[in-house]
Amino acid sequence: MKHKVYFDEVNNIPRIDIHGRLEVEDIAPLVENIEQILKAESTGYLLSDVSDLPSYQIDRKTRRALQERGKVLGLTKIAMLGASPAIRMIARLVIKLLGGETAYHFFSEEKEAVAWLKGNRYEIQGVVRRNS
């Protein structure tokens, strides 16, 4: 799989790095891997690096699969790193459709994304967007 789901030992957080186009067949294994890590680490946080995701490359079937499969994760906070304006729009839609109270922010710097996930607000300099 070209995408990577792992527990970032340095920052002590679950993470997904998307590389290239995200296809509908990628969703099930990605969600399963994320779910295993979240359960093992007893957290609802996720850092999602989408800086290598082409903005025009998420089709309707893939968005629908993200929505349907992502509901099982029970995420409470998602920090998105490197999202283009188009990806931000799609991410907002998918997160809203997941339901629940998932907080999310978009960041251009990994350090700030990690600080926000960990609740270290004093370290955050440039929050790009805040959900309210």
Token pair listed for 117: 């996930």
Whole-number pLDDT of residue 128:
45
What are the tens digits of pLDDT across the range 62-81? 878 887 877 778 888 999 99
Please answer whether residues 71 and 99 qualify as being in contact, where contact means their C-beta atoms are separated by less than 8 angstroms.
yes
Q: Structural domain tally of the chain?
A: 1
Helix (H) or strand (E) holding 47: strand 45-52
What are the tens digits of pLDDT across the range 79-124? 999 999 988 988 888 788 777 678 899 999 999 999 999 886 545 4
CA 104 to chain centre: 9
Q: Using pLDDT thresholds of 50, 70 and 90, give the confidence band for residue 34.
A: very high
Token pair listed for 81: 């790193």
Q: Which of 56, 64, 51 is nearest to 24 (CA)?
A: 64
CA-to-CA distance for 47 and 110, rounded, in angstroms?
9
Domain range for residue 13? 4-130
CA-to-CA distance for 78 and 48, rounded, in angstroms?
7
* 48 has a pLDDT exceeding 80: yes
Rounded average pLDDT over 50-68: 80
CATH number at residue 105: 3.30.750.24
What are the tens digits of pLDDT across the range 2-17? 899 999 999 999 999 9
Q: Which residues contact 88 (CB under 8 A, 6 or more apart)?
A: 80, 106, 129
Helix (H) or strand (E) holding 17: strand 13-19
Q: Which of 68, 3, 13 is nearest to 37 (CA)?
A: 13
